[in-house]
Amino acid sequence: MSYDLRQYCKDNDIGCDDVDYEECQRPGTQQPKKQIIRVYVAGPLSPKGLNTKHLAIDYLLNVRNMIEAGKELLLMGLSPFVPGIDYNFFLQLREGEEISEEMIKRYSIDWLLVCDAVLLLPGWIYSGGTKAEIKIAIKNDILIYQSMKELKDAVHQARIS
């Protein structure tokens, strides 16, 4: 399902008072003010049973999609932040150690705030976390792209300018 970010923001009253959509938030027409280097990959992670009826499989498919996008960005010469690989922290926990949901969210938002752009993956509309990340990106003038093609076009344009 494709869902226009601008319409989503209007429907949910996100940033309507202080965001100039025409200048900085119209997907597909955004012109970066600086070269895009760091890209936050945003999309669904927590399974909702949208791909299959097996939540564990859905989670793994979502992780795969994020890693695939991150790999493609890396091969383009960019520096992606991929929340889908956060599970590795949990695999390394020793007895008595704990990483809370709050810690992971803070870690992700800290990285989002230093990124030049956000890449929304298909299915982002179903992700509460991605919706929160969109709000933060809009408030901090971070460019948002709804497809890899839009982002590639912007990166190419910035490199030849």
Domains by residue range for the chain, with CATH: 5-160 (3.40.50.10400)
Token pair in block for residue 49: 């049973």
The 3 state secondary structure assigned to the chain is CCCCHHHHHHHCCCCCCCCCHHHHHCCCCCCCCCCCCEEEEECCCCCCCCCCCCHHHHHHHHHHHHHHHHHHHHHCCCEEECHHHCHHHHHCCCCCCCCCHHHHHHHHHHHHCCCCEEEECCCHHHCHHHHHHHHHHHHCCCEEECCHHHHHHHHHHHHHC
- Could you identify the residue written with the tokens 């091969």? 75
The pLDDT tens digits for 42-69 are: 999 987 766 667 888 889 999 999 999 9
The pLDDT tens digits for 85-131 are: 999 999 999 999 999 999 999 999 999 999 999 999 998 988 889 99
pLDDT bin (cut points 50, 70, 90) of residue 159 is: confident
